[in-house]
Amino acid sequence: MRVSASLLPLPLAFVAALALALSGCNGASAPGTGGTERGGAPDSAVPVVASTNVYGDIVRQVGGDKADVVSLISDPAQDPHSYEAGTRNQLALSRARVVVENGGGYDEFVGRMLRAASNPSADVISAVQVSGKTAPAGGELNEHVWYDLPTVGKLAARIADSLAKAAPGDGDLFRRNAQAFQGRLKALEAEETRIRSAHEGAAVAVTEPVPLYLVEACGLRDRTPPDFAEAVEEGTEVSPGSMRQMLDLFSGKRVEALVYNQQTSGPQTEKVRKAASDHGIPVVPVTETLPPGRDYVGWMKSTIGELGKALNA
């Protein structure tokens, strides 16, 4: 899925944003400003904006209370395609020292907002660029790199370096926090390895490519018809032929699990989810943003655990 945004005209946006700033509005987002999530960091903390609360949480793991984080999208019930940028978010971007985006075409609105905010000095970190991943020959890049644990580990180190540049006196703290976070990721990678050892080569289906890095790390084969996954990701109609091929995976017991993106459910994916359940195929739910009350490591641990449970069913 690629995230898009509608921007207010710049003059109006900044008049409104500056009015909010001058009135001393701080803390949680005001009504109607979109999905902003903000930490309670002190005024001396490094201002950071993240495109989603996944990246916002990773920044918090590294920066602690020395980072004042605004996550533009934080509601797991929100369809990122319908995201609209509020004036408070534009103001946050105008002040940010560090900006963390997914990149790879997923959240292009961040770049547009940053240009509108006239903040060329912000250090913009693209998770896709940090990953070093590129599109395969004749194919498209899977931009959902937050499901790739090695990439997230590299990202934490990159965030630590950026925060240290903004607040040199806390550089050692940021790097220690990043190393501790990377240690927790290693434990998750060990869980993936255990699934690979027990189920390598097992076939699964997905409703769209969001969790494929996780699927591959667990040694599983994706049997989803490419046209089906592409249509769902792009929000277009699934062809009858692709739908038939997808449903046949469940009726023919050709896959051991369906990994289902709850955040972009609709009639087509709901039909697939029901078919899997009707034929006794376990359904593993995933999302693109953190559920309420969860951090990145806990979220990934739960998802990996649910996948392992489904394969053992």
The CATH number, out of the four listed (1.10.3720.10, 3.40.50.2000, 3.40.50.1980, 3.40.50.150), of the domain defined by the range 10-186:
3.40.50.1980
pLDDT of residue 235: 84
Q: Which CATH class is domain 200-312?
A: alpha beta
Pick out the chain residues at pLDDT < 70: 1-41, 76-85
pLDDT of residue 273: 97
- Per DSSP, the residues of the chain read --B--BPPPHHHHHHHHHHHHHTT--SSPPTTS-S-EE----TTSEEEEEEEHHHHHHHHHHHGGGEEEEEEE--TTS-GGG-B--HHHHHHHHH-SEEEE--TTSBTHHHHHHHHTT-TTSEEEEHHHHHT--PPTTS-----GGG-HHHHHHHHHHHHHHHHHH-GGGHHHHHHHHHHHHHHHHHHHHHHHHHHHHHTT-EEEESSSTTHHHHHHTT-EE---HHHHHHHHHT-PPPHHHHHHHHHHHHTT--S-EEEEGGG--HHHHHHHHHHHHTT--EEEE-SSPPTT--HHHHHHHHHHHHHHHHH-
pLDDT of residue 33: 36
pLDDT of residue 187: 98
pLDDT of residue 41: 63
Domain residue spans in the chain? 10-186, 200-312
pLDDT of residue 91: 93
The domains spanning 10-186 and 200-312 adopt the same CATH topology: yes
Q: Express each pLDDT in 189-241 by its tens digit.
A: 999 999 999 999 999 999 999 999 999 999 999 999 999 998 998 888 999 99
pLDDT of residue 40: 58
pLDDT of residue 96: 98
